[in-house]
Amino acid sequence: MSSRSDHVLTLFSGAGGFSYGFASAGIKPLCGAELDKSACESYEANVGSICHNVDLSQTPPSFFKDLLGGKQPFAIIGGPPCQGFSTAGSRNATDPRNRLIFNYLRIVDEVKPRWFIFENVEGLLTSGHGEAVSSLIQEFLKIGYSVRVEKVNLAAYGVPQTRKRVLIIGNRMGSVFHFPEEKFSYESGKAKKRSNKPFAPTLLEAISGLGKTSEKRKYTSHYASDAPENAYDALMRECNTSGFVTEHFDSTNAEDVHRYSLLRCGQTMKDLPEELWHESFRRRAFRRVQDGTPTEKRGGAPSGIKRLYGDLQSLTITGAACREFIHPTLHRPLTIRECARIQSFPDSYEFSGNASSVMQQIGNAVPPMAAAVFAKHLQELDGMHGSDLFSLPQVQSPRLLGYQLTESTGMSEALRKTDSLLKGLLQHEFDYT
């Protein structure tokens, strides 16, 4: 067996949110790997390690094995898009849509990290009638990993937004483990979980202290006051020695100011007079009617814009958030820096690329705060970092250790299909040699 290493590799690393969280927990990744050049530049400027600008559908696993010099890393983190696994039963490694996922599996198989964390959108659970996630789990089992899969809401770990994600965590030592304990209650008006735990920071707590916006992106702005306004504000300011704030600008025109002024918290474009609808919203709102899609399959109309509640956690930050999410009290959208804060990127984090690219980087990221929780949890579980790993229960062959698809009492028909497939895997042992 190769000598142990505490190295971490980040695949599909984006701007570095996952990596920054691990670094803040004391495990700075050896490197990232990302196709988008601007995201690579953001990664390197903030994480402080190299980000290889490569296409992971084409990069041979030997590339990463050579980087490690034969050592087995502590962890591989990150998750590729899973479109190719969306077709029921599709496990064809030659399918172009599957290259990313199969290469991810090949890299894990080749470099043999002790742990991996695979992150993806919640749609993975029902994709391909459950075959997508079932197939993916089976592939991890075949290469020697015991895994647990859960849908988590990252607000439960202190992120000031309700952000549902699927995490698959595995280890090759056969250790039976659980996900880190949730620490916070949350509510966004759409997703909520109330308990005796304190609430995650609200949206207004998250963006407090940033002060007035500048008029153009190239200008910096000043904090509202020298002293932080709350604990989250203090945390976000911590490494910002300049005292200036970047990416906190607003160029809303008078017509949009009027439009936003008519919205109350929780209201969307459809609550405005129709003559004030954006043309793009009008097209999307009526497209389902015009294209003949049956009523029961149309879903709701797009929200277009939405004024958020300040005293709740934010809705999920996406690449469109600074166009679509309206500030709780001001007649403008959230700024790029406000979106970054809601994703738990500190104010010192500098992003490369144009504004659209930066918002995509922010929206795609794993929030550093949540990443740090999982990094510390793996350290607590693993003997490399001072824990007695082998005091954990062990399994003799790779197993699906457990799963959680939903916390609600009911389950959709689509999720029931996934549940049925995963129940079958729970009892299955995979031979691995």
Per-residue pLDDT tens digits for 267-289: 999 999 988 888 887 877 766 55
Model confidence at 94, pLDDT cuts 50, 70, 90, reads low
Contact 173, 308 (CB under 8 A): no
Helix (H, G, I), strand (E, B) or coil at 194: coil
* Residue 98 Cα distances to 84, 92, 93, 168, 400, angstroms: 5, 7, 6, 18, 22
With contact defined as beta carbons under 8 Å apart, do 33 and 101 qualify? no
What are the tens digits of pLDDT across the range 302-331? 678 999 999 999 999 999 999 999 999 999
The single residue of 40, 82, 322, 339 carrying the catalytic annotation is 82
d(CA 116, CA 74): 8
> Is residue 98 scored above 60 in pLDDT?
yes
Q: How far is CA 46 from CA 24, 91, 246, 405, in A?
A: 11, 37, 14, 34
177 with 190: CB under 8 angstroms? no
Instruction: Encode pLDDT of 228-267 as tens digits.
Output: 999 999 999 999 988 899 999 999 999 999 999 999 999 9
pLDDT at residue 357 tops 50: yes
Residue 296 is predicted with a pLDDT of 45
Domains and CATH numbers, the chain: 8-195+368-426 (3.40.50.150), 203-364 (3.90.120.10)
* Alpha-carbon span 423 to 421, nearest angstrom: 6
pLDDT digits (tens, 9 = 90+) for 328-356: 999 999 999 999 999 999 999 999 999 99
| 411 — pLDDT class (breaks 50, 70, 90) | confident
If one compares 297 and 151, the residue with the highest pLDDT of the two is 151
What was the pLDDT predicted at 304?
84
Mean pLDDT over each residue of the chain, to the nearest integer: 89
What is the pLDDT, as a whole number, of residue 86? 46
Amino acid 95: pLDDT: 60
Confidence of residue 5 (pLDDT cuts 50, 70, 90): low
Q: What is the mean pLDDT of residues 187-203?
A: 94
Q: How far apart are alpha carbons 336 and 325 in whole angstroms?
A: 11
The pLDDT score that the predictor gives to residue 82 is 66
Q: Are strands 186-187 and 192-193 parallel, antiparallel or unpaired?
A: antiparallel
Lowest mean pLDDT among 283-287, 361-365, 412-416: 283-287
Residue type at 384 in one-letter notation: M
pLDDT of residue 4: 43
Q: How many CB atoms lie within 10 A of CB 79?
A: 24
Q: What's the pTM value of the predicted model, to 2 decimals?
A: 0.91
Residue 282: the pLDDT is 80
pLDDT at 85: 52
Q: What is the pLDDT of residue 126?
A: 87
Helix (H) or strand (E) holding 427: none
- Asked if 177 and 392 count as a contact pair (C-beta separation under 8 A), the reply is yes
- The residues, ordered by sequence, that sit 6+ positions from 227 with a Cβ below 8 Å of its Cβ are none
Q: What DSSP state is assigned to residue 238? A: T
CA distance 68 to 398: 25
pLDDT per position as a tens digit, 30-76 = 999 999 999 999 999 999 999 999 999 899 999 999 999 888 999 99
What is the pLDDT averaged over residues 399-417?
90
Share of the chain above pLDDT 70, in %: 88
Residue 309 CB-half CA count within 13 A: 16
How would residue 99 be classed by pLDDT, with cut points 50, 70 and 90?
A: confident
- pLDDT recorded at residue 410: 82
31: annotated active-site residue: no
276: left (phi over 0), alpha (psi -120 to 50) or beta: alpha
- pLDDT (tens digit, 9 = 90+) per residue, 106-139? 999 999 999 999 999 888 898 888 888 998 999 9
Q: What are phi and psi of 60, to 5 degrees?
A: -70, 145
pLDDT for 285-296, tens place per residue?
Answer: 766 555 555 444
Compute the 3-state secondary structure of the chain and give helix, strand, coil in percent, each to the nearest 5.
40, 15, 45
Pick from 97, 92, 100, 118: nearest CA to 56: 100
Which residue in 183, 218, 223, 100 sits closest to 369, CA to CA?
Answer: 183
| Best CA proximity match to 381, nearest among 177, 222, 185 | 177
